[in-house]
Amino acid sequence: MLKLEKNSIKETFMNNLITYKSNQEKDFFEFKNISKFYKSGKINVVGLQNINLKISYGDFIVIGGISGSGKSTLLNLMGLIDQPDQGDIFIENKKINYNNDRLTTEIRKNKIGFIFQNFNLIPTLTVFENIEYSLLKSIKEIKRRHLIINQALEKVGILNLSKRYPEEISGGQQQRTSIARAFAKSPSIILADEPTANLDSGNGENILEIMKTMNIEERVTFVIATHDSSIMKMAKRKIIVSDGKIIKDTRI
Ligand code: ADP
Ligand code: MG
């Protein structure tokens, strides 16, 4: 009996290892010839031009570039909250079909976490409830949901603030809440758009440390848009955009 159990533990371990290895080699995202244009009055404004890009599991990518260069456009396309005008986006080798809304919505909700510059918390809900609200549909069992929320809050170091409302905590703590909210979904990737722009440098560094730890310990893939040079230093891969084009893509 014991031997059998041991074998099955070993088997599970080996299976997990195989999944882990194959995920490691798999690309999560692929952009093929992506362009995006905006209309500003009668003028066509370039958001992105002919972007080709692959993003692998487990990476920690920082996207840099001056204001207006296309960072947010790139993240919004990755997060499937906006559509390209040209080209195709593949997620786990599947082409995103914007007409087949159900699958696209499912990927967006379950595989992708988003962190915003202004935290995007609901002011009338507590820290705990803000996270719970985003999990209501995906985790029906209350006990398990609460366990996951508490684990996420502990991970970002604010378990003691779970009953507070957003206005009763600092900006840094609000951003930790939004990281916990993204993390609690167990996404494959977390996209963060200027996550430290509204924080002082000390709080900004703490936020980055939390993300880096999640990347190392939980293998969550991160793509972070910023023009903050201290964040740039923490990247495994740096992508610089200018006028809607990738002008530099380096691995450290
Ligand atoms: P960044 O995040 O690097 O500041 P954005 O992706 O927001 O850059 O913007 C890229 C370009 O697209 C800029 O020229 C910007 O003015 C333009 N742009 C972005 N969003 C819109 C929009 N909704 N309408 C018109 N132009 C836009
Ligand atoms: Mg932006």
The band of 5, judged by pLDDT with boundaries at 50, 70 and 90, is low
CB 247 within 8 A of CB 240: yes
Quote the pLDDT of residue 231.
86
Region 15-27: what's the mean pLDDT?
57
Q: Whose CA is nearest to atom 23 of ligand 1?
A: 38
Quote the pLDDT of residue 16.
55
Summarize pLDDT for 143-177 with one digit per residue, the tens.
999 999 999 999 999 999 999 999 999 999 999 99
Region 129-145: what's the mean pLDDT?
96
How far does the centroid of ligand 2 lie from the alpha carbon of residue 134, in Å?
24
CB 184 within 8 A of CB 149: yes
Region 171-194: what's the mean pLDDT?
96
Per-chain mean pLDDT for the chain: 90
Q: Which two tokens stand for residue 199?
A: 């924080």
Report the C-alpha gap between 90 and 240 in whole angstroms: 21
Ligand showing the shortest atom-to-Cα distance for residue 76: 1
From 35, 37, 39, 45, give the residue whose CB has the most ligand 1 atoms within 8 Å, as the site to mutate: 45
Q: Which atom number of ligand 1 is nearest to the Cα of residue 227?
A: 3
Please name the residue that has the structure tokens 């170091």: 157
pLDDT surpassing 90 at residue 227: no
Q: Which atom number of ligand 1 is nearest to the Cα of residue 40?
A: 25
Quote the pLDDT of residue 252.
84
Quote the pLDDT of residue 165.
98
Residue 47 CB–ligand 1 contact under 6 Å: yes
Summarize pLDDT for 96-122 with one digit per residue, the tens.
998 877 888 889 888 999 999 999 999
How far does the centroid of ligand 1 lie from the alpha carbon of residue 207, in Å?
25
Report the C-alpha gap between 169 and 158 in whole angstroms: 10
List, in order, residues 6 or more apart from 64 with CB less than 8 Å away. 71, 225, 226, 227, 232, 238, 239, 240, 241
Residues with CB under 5 A from ligand 2 (ion): 71-72
Q: Are strands 60-64 and 112-115 parallel, antiparallel or unpaired?
A: unpaired
Summarize pLDDT for 32-79 with one digit per residue, the tens.
999 999 998 999 999 999 999 999 999 999 999 999 999 999 999 999
Report the C-alpha gap between 18 and 24 in whole angstroms: 10
How far does the centroid of ligand 1 lie from the alpha carbon of residue 181, in Å?
26
How far, in whole angstroms, is CA 154 from its chain's centroid?
Answer: 19
Quote the pLDDT of residue 15.
58
Q: What percent of the chain has pLDDT over 70?
A: 90
C-alpha R_g of the chain: 19
How buried is 231 (Cβ within 10 angstroms: 0-12 exposed, 13-18 middle, 19+ buried)? buried
Q: How far is CA 33 from CA 30, 57, 70, 136, 245, in A?
A: 10, 21, 15, 37, 11
Give the strand order in the sheet containing 245-251: 112-115, 189-193, 221-225, 60-64, 237-242, 245-251
pLDDT surpassing 50 at residue 192: yes
Q: Whose CA is nearest to atom 12 of ligand 1?
A: 47
Quote the pLDDT of residue 219.
92
Residue 203 CB–ligand 1 contact under 6 Å: no
How far does the centroid of ligand 1 lie from the alpha carbon of residue 227, in Å?
15
Quote the pLDDT of residue 76.
96
Residue 69 CB–ligand 1 contact under 6 Å: yes
Ligand showing the shortest atom-to-Cα distance for residue 71: 1
